[in-house]
Chains A and B, each alone.
Chain A
Amino acid sequence: MTLALKTETPPPAPAKPRQVTQSHRFDAELVAVTKRYGPGAPAVDNISLRIPRGSYCCLLGPSGCGKSTTLRMLAGHEEVSDGAILIHDQEITHAPPVARGTSMMFQDYALFPHLSALDNVAFSLKVQGVARGERRARAKEYLELVQMDHLAERLPSQMSGGQQQRVALARSLITRPKVLLLDEPLSALDPFLRIRMRAELKRIQKELGISFIHVTHSQDEALALADLVVVMNNAVIMQAGAAREVYETPSNAFVARFLGGHNVVQRAGGGEASVRADQCVIGARPGLRSLPGTVSMIEYQGTAVRVSVTGTDGEELTALMPTGAFFNDALELGQSVRLSWDPADEHPLG
């Protein structure tokens, strides 16, 4: 069984899945939200965030940074200790999950193992007492949206991870959420499928016009998908902004390091700055700043070569060199080199 994706034309969206609401400014808003599990450091510490209408928002950070807890508070599966949560400008801080207009897609998909794909998708309609014929017809529409209608009668155990995920997505979308919450939705897939599914998620989000809030620890995923990247660490938001803005102008050393592809260096005038690794070269050049070190790792990456240099203080610096430039003057491990960059490329960190 292969995952045949019909890529020609996207299937027609189910009739009016978009939520028709009076004009609201933000799809979701967190106001000074805190989550404490007990005495000691809070899991989420006084975070505020506004997610504009129809955004693809990624909560990005290392494990334990509070991103999943934040998502679960939005979903109503976790009590908020302090602060308020708004969906479509309505306060829903303590509302039960079903009354919030959110729907959550779980990391393990949580498809009911005893129900077929169709019955899983139809579950929320069954709960509302929709008649069998109608709920099956509507569930079928949503299975078509995720291109799973041909496997409608399969049990979760008879589907691959990618197929289960599509069904889980349909099961969430059939509730017509105002905001869809996705908890590391791609982490259980193999790398090839992950890239395909993320394109699919983006397509569906655009098609429905609702906001998706997607928790991930993958920088690539966040940069590829998000209109709004929210980088979290240690229970707080380190930076929130458009993908390009966050990547090119990280506001602190954590964001620069976590997003990868950056070196954090000391500025001539004091303070720290980030320099993108692809703007660094090996070898001293006139007019460039440089640091001495030894080559500690060389990784061939197809389009570029990644050279890691361990500086005199043990700090790790990286130059991402075009393949041609690297092989003109190949380096060896342990070689003493200088890593250089143009001071104009330095981006000061706060």
Chain B
Amino acid sequence: MSTRKRPLSFYLLAGLTTVFLVYVYAPMACLYILSFQGPEGGMSFPMVGWSTHWFQTLFSGEGQGLGDVPGAFQRSIRLAACTAVLTLVISVTAGLAYRRKFPGSGAVFYAAIASMVLPGIFVGFGIALMFNLLGWQVNWFTSGIGAQLTWTLPFGLLIMFIVLGRFRSSYEEAAVDLGASASQRFRWVILPIILPGVIGIAMAGLTSSYEETARTSLNVGMGNTMPMEVMGLLNAAATPVLFAIGTLTTLISFSLIILSLVVMTQLAKRRSMRTNA
């Protein structure tokens, strides 16, 4: 077989892709390296020795440029967990409702999706303003979660539509034919088949909640969330602790992704293991 010569456009596009990938990952690599800066080192190269000093500072919770990171982290995780669970439950149930058309289904769908393109800062401002007008106190548990849901729900719903789009309706008809009630159909047929997508919705909810600021900042009430805290630290006296935060955050994100992939492959494996008996 003769090797076909690739056209010039291949090399141009490959070059462009490389440049883009370097642009994405090189700054992050710098950040990871700088987080191991020596105790005397500053916010930029050169490295003044290597150490885990800034990680120790972060974990000890004391020292310059640390602010209230542990508190902010705790608040963010708490918020993200609640938002992820709500996103999951609402997206899955709403998605299931869309298996059949209902009056106004189109309008509801577009209204839900349109909030993706609304400018986040103004959505957040609007919610805070409304709470103020009603004389309610903004609070992470009420306005905070609400504001974040305006951001995570459209994504969850879209993922759910994709998941159900690939779900053959004959599975459910077959289950009906075999006498399964609505709840049996959901537990024994629909949920097991769409489970990977459902895990995906929870992950998307978790990560997009964790890094959201535009809608969140005015609505969480007392205490900063992580992105707000980091912004504050950047503006104040910054130390390489920030880089340590960045490295840790990346580590946690990747661990979460790997964990969910492992869970999904384990699920698939367990099925085929069971069947090769």
Contact = CB atoms under 8 A, between A and B. Distances in A.
B12 interface: no
Contacts of B277: 153
B194 to A, nearest CB: 10
A103 B176 CA distance: 10
A104 B192 contact: no
B170 A110 contact: yes
Interface in B146-198: 168, 170-171, 173-181, 184, 188-189, 192-193
Contact of A103 (B171, B177, B274): B177
Contact of A127 (B168, B170, B178, B192): B178
A325 to B, nearest CB: 49
Given A112-B193, A123-B188, A153 B274 contact: yes
A153 B177 contact: no
**Overall SS of chain A's interface:** loop
B276 interface: yes
A77 B188 CA distance: 20
B2 interface: no
B271 interface: yes
Contacts of B178: 98, 103, 123-124, 127, 171, 175
Nearest to A168: B174
Which residue among B176, B192, B277 has the maximum number of chain A CB atoms within 10 Å of its CB? B176
Given A98-B176, A171-B178, A106 B188 contact: no
B272 interface: yes
A90 interface: no
A155 interface: yes
Interface string A91-112: 0000011100001101110111
Given A110-B168, A110-B170, A127-B184, A116 B177 contact: no
A153 B276 contact: yes
A128 to B, nearest CB: 7
A160 interface: no
Given A123-B188, A127-B184, A154-B275, A175 B179 contact: yes
Nearest to B169: A110
Interface string A69-89: 000000101000000000000
B275 A116 contact: yes
Contacts of B174: 104, 106, 110-112, 171
B187 to A, nearest CB: 11
Contacts of A266: none
A108 B168 CA distance: 9
Contacts of A123: 175, 178, 180, 188
Contacts of A116: 274-275
Which residue among B168, B188, B274 has the maximum number of chain A CB atoms within 10 Å of its CB? B188
Nearest to A118: B275
Q: Report the 7 A-B pairs with minimum CB-CB distance, sorted nearest first.
A: A110-B170, A98-B179, A124-B178, A110-B174, A114-B192, A153-B275, A106-B170
Given A96-B176, A107-B170, A175-B178, 17 more contacts: A77-B173, A97-B177, A98-B177, A98-B178, A98-B179, A103-B178, A106-B174, A112-B192, A123-B178, A124-B178, A153-B274, A153-B276, A155-B271, A155-B272, A158-B275, A171-B174, A172-B177
29 contacts: A75-B177, A77-B173, A96-B176, A97-B176, A98-B176, A106-B170, A107-B170, A110-B170, A110-B174, A112-B171, A112-B189, A112-B192, A114-B192, A114-B271, A116-B274, A116-B275, A123-B178, A123-B180, A124-B178, A126-B188, A127-B178, A127-B184, A155-B271, A155-B275, A158-B272, A171-B174, A172-B177, A175-B178, A175-B179
